[in-house]
C-alpha cells in the first residue's frame, strides 16, 4: 500500500492506494499518529483503496479516538464494496462519508 499525507491548517488529508491490511497497518498507523499534532479533522480519500482489513479499520478507529471530542474523520470516494465492510462491522455510523 502507498499513501500520501498532507496537512492543510488543522486538517490532515490522507490518500490511500491499494490495500490496507496487517502487512502495512502498523507503519501506516505510525505515519498518521506522527502527524496528529494540531489536527482537528482527518480526511481519508479511499478512491484508490481496493481492500481494508480489520487491522486497517483499527487504524481508523484509533485515529478517531485521538481527535478531540467534536472533531472527527471524513471518508471520501468510498467504493461500494468497501462501504459494505463499514456496514457489516457497524462502523458506518462512526465516520462521516462523502
pTM above 0.75, yes or no: yes
pLDDT for the residue numbered 35: 95
Domain count, the chain: 1
Closest to 29 (Cα-Cα) out of 39, 18, 21: 21
In the predicted structure, residue 29 carries a pLDDT above the cut 90: yes
Classify 92 as helix, strand or coil.
helix
Cα separation, 20 vs 34, whole angstroms: 18
- Domain extent for 68: 2-97
The CATH number that applies at residue 91 is: 3.30.750.24
Could you read off the pLDDT of 38-49 as tens digits, one per residue? Answer: 999 999 999 999
Burial of 46 (0-12, 13-18, 19+ CB in 10 A): buried
> Do 46 and 17 meet the contact criterion of CB atoms below 8 Å apart?
no
Could you read off the pLDDT of 79-93 as tens digits, one per residue? Answer: 999 999 999 999 999
pLDDT for the residue numbered 31: 97
Amino acid at each position: 500500500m502507498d499513501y500520501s499525507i498532507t496537512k492543510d491548517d488543522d486538517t490532515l488529508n490522507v490518500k490511500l492506494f491499494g490495500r490496507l491490511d496487517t502487512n502495512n497497518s502498523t507503519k501506516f498507523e505510525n505515519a498518521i499518529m506522527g502527524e496528529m499534532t494540531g489536527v482537528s479533522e482527518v480526511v481519508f480519500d479511499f478512491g484508490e483503496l481496493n481492500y481494508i482489513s480489520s487491522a486497517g479499520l483499527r487504524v481508523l478507529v484509533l485515529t478517531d479516538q485521538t481527535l478531540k471530542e467534536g472533531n472527527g474523520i471524513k471518508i471520501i470516494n468510498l467504493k461500494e464494496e468497501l462501504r459494505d465492510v463499514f456496514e457489516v462491522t457497524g462502523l458506518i455510523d462512526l465516520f462521516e462519508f462523502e
